[in-house]
Amino acid sequence: MIDLHSHSTFSDGSLTPEALARKAAEIGLTAMALTDHDCTSGVPRFMAACASHGIEGIPGVEISADVKKGTLHVLGYLIEVGHESLESVLVRIRQGREIRNREILDKLQRLGMSLSWEDVASLADEEVVGRPHFAQALKAKGYVKSKEDAFERYLAKGKPAYADRFRLSPQDSIAALHAAGGLAVLAHPFTLDADRKGLREIVAGLKEAGLDGVEAYYSEHSPEQTQQYVAVARDLDLVAVGGSDFHGDANPAIRLGRGFGSLNVPDDVVTELRRRWRRKRGERAR
């Protein structure tokens, strides 16, 4: 049993890298990847912990890319951790949310509203501050009738207090992962919200940009979806990989290695992933 998609306390998971590796050993995983959101800082600790348990650790990351419809995440595997160009891009993505929040606040203040950062942050509690908290603060101050009203008048895309957040395009995400010597894989294709034909077109387009694989096996994929994504990968000569997207107690319904219970990522996925990685490295060296 293997699992190539998991999150630690370095992004939004509840287990440390060491606790993740320990859990993997307990349930008998032979290979596992850590793929924290926009962050590789947990990988060195994860790799060391995997080695101590005799598990094949795979360094990874998950980048949230900019896309018009749905959600597009790109998984990076076998990346060189600490690689300068990748790290600088990840830092920029992480700072993007903060910068965006400051811009929204600034715009609201310039529109004449008396609103402080504390007014908004106090509503977020432990959560990461986002637009819903601004909406709540505007309502609390009596500037809008409801949260929906706040979005309609100020916060929605195209409205006077809207600010965009920095994200890489899918193509640039792939390039950043390649620059760090890794492979780029389209995560959980179902979140693209595309029909069969549309999905194939998107994946074919990403392959043009160098995509190496598709995450076909995933906790939330139905057997039909898994079949469809495996077929797309095969047709386009991409590697079909998979994982649970384990977050620990942050999403307790999903189990490491088994997802909702029936996830079963074939062991030879790792062999194929490494084979492609070696081939690419050879091509780059020439």
Residue whose CB is less far from Zn ion, 136 or 251? 251
- Residue 41 beta carbon to Zn ion: minimum distance, rounded to whole angstroms: 16
Task: Say if residues 177 and 63 touch (Cβ distance below 8 Å).
Answer: yes
Q: Which of 3, 38, 119, 245 binds Zn ion (CB under 5 A)?
A: 245
Phi/psi at 50 (nearest 5 deg)? Answer: -60, -45
- Residue 187 beta carbon to Zn ion: minimum distance, rounded to whole angstroms: 5
Task: Say if residues 212 and 183 touch (Cβ distance below 8 Å).
Answer: yes
Residue 214: strand pairing partners: 186, 240
Residue whose CB is nearest to Zn ion in the complex, by number: 73
Residue whose CB is less far from Zn ion, 23 or 73? 73
Q: How many residues lie near Zn ion (CB under 5 A)?
A: 4
Binding piece for Zn ion, criterion CB under 5 A, among 50-58, 111-119, 132-140, 242-250: 242-250
Angle, CA 245 vertex, CA 244 and CA 249 arms, to 5°: 105
For residue 34, state whether it binds Zn ion (rule: CB under 5 A).
no
- Residue 255 beta carbon to Zn ion: minimum distance, rounded to whole angstroms: 15
Binding piece for Zn ion, criterion CB under 5 A, among 38-46, 80-88, 180-188, 263-271: 180-188
Binding piece for Zn ion, criterion CB under 5 A, among 9-17, 72-80, 256-264, 266-274: 72-80
Q: Which of 15, 29, 65, 73 binds Zn ion (CB under 5 A)?
A: 73
C-alpha torsion sign, points 270, 20, 48, 25:
negative
d(CA 67, CA 12): 22
- Residue 111 beta carbon to Zn ion: minimum distance, rounded to whole angstroms: 34
Q: Which of 74, 187, 216, 263 binds Zn ion (CB under 5 A)?
A: 187
Binding piece for Zn ion, criterion CB under 5 A, among 67-75, 119-127, 152-160, 195-203: 67-75
C-alpha torsion sign, points 203, 207, 211, 212:
positive
Residue whose CB is less far from Zn ion, 228 or 244? 244
Binding piece for Zn ion, criterion CB under 5 A, among 61-69, 87-95, 161-169, 278-286: 61-69
Residue whose CB is less far from Zn ion, 86 or 137? 86
Residue whose CB is less far from Zn ion, 37 or 107? 37
- CA 232 from chain centre, in angstroms, equals 21
For residue 247, state whether it binds Zn ion (rule: CB under 5 A).
no
For residue 38, state whether it binds Zn ion (rule: CB under 5 A).
no
Binding piece for Zn ion, criterion CB under 5 A, among 148-156, 181-189, 199-207, 227-235: 181-189
Catalog residues that contact Zn ion under the rule CB under 5 A: 62, 73, 187, 245
